[in-house]
Amino acid sequence: MSAAPIRILGVDPGLRNTGWGVIDCVGARISFVACGTIRSDGDASLAERLRQLHQGVVEVIIAHRPDEAAVEETFVNRDPQATLKLGQARGAVMLAPALAGLPVAEYAANLVKKTVVGAGHAEKQQIAMMVKVLLPRSDARSPDAADALAVAITHAQHRGARAREALLLRGGA
C-alpha cells in the first residue's frame, strides 16, 4: 500500500511579482502540479498591492488544495525601504495559508539554492535549470515561479527532519 501524496505550495514572495509552485511529494518522489506568478498593480497603493498578493495566494490554495506551504525568507538588501516592503509582501502571502489552516515553513534563500542546485549562491538561471531537471513536466514561465517550485522542493526534502525536530521539542519519542 502506498502513502498518500503530500501537496506542497511553495511561495517566492515579492511586491511586484510573487511566484508560486505546487508539487506532490510521496516519500522522496516529487511531481509537478502547477506554477505561476501573481502580479500586483505597480500603480496601486501599497495596501491594495498587498491585498492583491494575498488574494492571489488564496485563489491558488482554493484551486490546488495544498496540505502544507513553504515560503522563502526575506533577505536584507542595501535599501531598507525595499526590504521593509518585501517583508510586508511576505507577510501578506504567508497569511493566506496560515488562515487556511496549513502549516507554513520558512526557508532561507541560501538553503533553497543549496538544496536544489548544490551551491548556496546559485544564479536564478541555475535554479530554473535544476527545477526543470527535478520536475521535467514543470512549465515555469518566470524566474519567480521557478524559485517558488525550488522552495516547494526544499520543503519536500526537509519536511521530515522538521517534523522529527518538532516532535522532539514537544517531548515526543
The catalytic residue positions are: 12, 72, 144
In order of 1, 84, 129, the CA distances from 149 in angstroms are 28, 24, 12
Residue 150 to residue 66: CA distance in whole angstroms: 16
CB 87 within 8 Å of CB 29: no
SS3 label, residue 106: strand
For residue 134, the one-letter residue type is L
Q: What contacts 45, CB < 8 A, 6 or more positions away? A: none
CA distances from 82 to 62, 94, 154 (A): 30, 18, 26
